[in-house]
Amino acid sequence: MKKNSNKRIIGYCRESTAIQYNEGFNIDDQEKRIKSYVEIYYDGKNNNLTIMRDAASAKSLDRPKMNDVLQMIKEHQVDVFIVYSLDRMTRRVKDLAYLLDVFQKNHVQLLSITEKIDTDTPMGRFFIYLIVLIAQWEQETIGSRSVRGIIESAMQGNYALPGSPIGYVRDPKDNHKLIIKKDSAKVVKRVFSEVADNGTAITSVVHILNSENALDRKWNRDTLANLVNNKIYYGTMVLRGREFPNIAPPLITKETYKLAQLRIKATKHVKGHHYLFRSFVRCTKCNRIMGIRTMTPKSGKVYKYYLCGNCLQQIPEKEIIEQVNDEFTEIMRKEQFDEDVHALEASYSDAAETIQSLPMSFFIYGLDREYVEGLIDQKTEDRNKLKENIDRLQAGLLEITFKDLSYSQVFDFMHKYVRTIDVNLDTYAVSVVYKTESMDA
């Protein structure tokens, strides 16, 4: 029996992978079945059937064609939504419930050919909600059993979380147990020593580990923050809000862990202030990266210091700036000079060649006009342009000073050129250790 005519029908087909989609393993058959269904149960000539084909996983509803369909439904452009089977629409109970709600609110009839479901009938609506309830119950039951299994495993002294924390590996004799991995465990102990014993900020520890290429990996603040906050390092695993002691051989004491937490809290008051040399200043006495400290007297002016938690001595940031300013300015001017000359090469190759031959001291400390004029006189072409560019380069270079850079510019400069700024806290003498690869470039 033919159903009502003049229906706007969407036939939805899906395959999980692009290969299946392109080669038509199953999607062509889905489309064929949907078209046959519409032909049999609807008046094919008097109904508007549109086939939507997706090549995407059913793990979410965020699929190109499904998004289009949902938009059309919300704009009241769809009367009937047909799938060959419910799993082509979604495999997730949560998504199925959402789709049913959207269909109901927008008066869209859902048809599933395989399950013989038609939400236009009371029995069809009852059946599909029954499916949702059964599937949800099954999912919750499986989840509950999984949680109970994990808790029981933890109570038996097993490490019941996925993966292995830095410093440990799974025991090859018993995959449920952790054993110490010597090289990475040494790094873990080093981190806790820096934070708990020396009061080194986590960002500074990150710089230390990266400068030493520890464990041949790239370290970041989130990784170290998670490490320092993980109780497994004194043997206790935290699982679903519960603590399970004696799960792993400890790398530190519980007291060291607590001290590390106190140190982290103590450094939070400096948040929001820009420290130009944060994680670069190193104490020459103990060879440790120094932390940071802020003092704000009643006047409201902020004073920034770099503090060695081991030696309990500090140096003002202002003092470091004064000592490195000329040295860093020279590097910046050389970099800018090279960039300007490179730009000139494209259009004024002769001018650029002449400028390149001049000593840097002529631009920074003053020009020997007779020498320059002699070089210019040798060039008949672009004579005036050459003079203008020399004057412009000199003026531009003299305007560049390290002190005038913004925080972001200083950040880029430091990470490009500087390895550490070494400070003698007794004499306040400052010396810079550069990244040789950057200086050679």
- At 385-424, the pLDDT tens digits run 555 666 555 555 566 678 777 777 788 888 888 999 999 9
Please tell me if the domain spanning 8-136 has the same topology as the one spanning 168-266: no
Output DSSP code: residue 300: -
What single-letter amino acid sits at 243? E
Residue 235 has pLDDT above 60, yes or no: yes
Within 8 A by CB and 6+ apart from 135, the residues are: 93, 96
**More confident: 108 or 130:** 108
DSSP labels, 394-435: HHHHHH--GGG--HHHHHHHHHHHEEEEEEETTTTEEEEEE-
Classify domain 168-266 by CATH architecture: Alpha-Beta Complex (3.90)
Q: Is 51 helix (H, G, I), strand (E, B) or coil?
A: strand
Residue 430 has a pLDDT of 94
Residue 238 has pLDDT above 80, yes or no: yes
- What is the CATH number that goes with domain 8-136? 3.40.50.1390
Encoded tokens for 107: 């008066």
pTM, to two decimals: 0.40
Residue 254 has pLDDT above 90, yes or no: yes
CA distance 301 to 275: 15
Residue 93 has pLDDT above 80, yes or no: no
User: What is the percent of the chain with per-residue pLDDT over 90, rounded to a whole number?
Assistant: 32
The pLDDT of 221-245, averaged and rounded, is: 91
The region, left, alpha or beta by phi > 0 then psi within -120 to 50, assigned to residue 133 is alpha
As a whole number, the mean pLDDT across the chain is 80
Residue 106 has a pLDDT of 93
Within 8 A by CB and 6+ apart from 378, the residues are: none
Give the confidence band of 205 by pLDDT, cuts at 50, 70, 90. Answer: confident
DSSP run (H or E) holding 150: helix 122-155
Residue 10 has a pLDDT of 95
**More confident: 153 or 44:** 153
Domain ranges of the chain: 8-136, 168-266, 274-317, 319-440
pLDDT, tens digit, for every residue of 318-373?
A: 999 999 998 898 888 777 666 665 555 544 555 555 555 555 555 554 555 666 66
